[in-house]
Amino acid sequence: MVQRYTPSRIRDITDGTSNTLMVAEKRMNLALMGQPQVDDDIGYTSGWDNNMMRRTRRQPRPDFFNPDNNSTRRFGSSHPGRFNAVLADGSVRPISYYIDRTLFKYLGHKSDGQVINLDGL
């Protein structure tokens, strides 16, 4: 849904707004909370940066605790089993960390022509 130089419009979402992920929680290293992390060092106003951008090509995972690892770049959260996501239709849905990788990839593409079964989230 989000692109670097070309904004998306509702009419560009040919897979349907209820089948397209727009915004979601990000995985964090809890051992480094309150300190700069590779993907959480500037803040939400940084624009096109690892602080804000995630891809559905990487399997989502829960937050973790490891003082020696500060690179995650995944969707995720501290919620058990799931993270919250906003779809392009404005609905908020929990998505399992164990979502099928192909389904998750389709969810992140607004016009790939793939049918998504929302029961698989």
Residue 35 confidence (pLDDT): 80
pLDDT tens column, 29-47:
898 888 877 776 666 555 6
List the helix and strand counts (H, then E) for the chain. 1, 3
Average pLDDT over the chain, rounded to whole?
85
Domain boundaries, the chain: 1-110
- What is the pTM assigned to this prediction? 0.83
CB 93 within 8 A of CB 121: yes
Beta bridge pairs of residue 82: 96
Reported as a single tens digit per residue, the pLDDT across 95-119 is 999 999 999 999 999 999 887 888 8
pLDDT number for residue 49 = 62
Contact (CB, 8 A) for 17 and 87: yes
Query: In the predicted model, is pLDDT for residue 71 greater than 90?
Result: no
Q: pLDDT per residue over 51-60, tens digit each?
A: 677 889 999 9
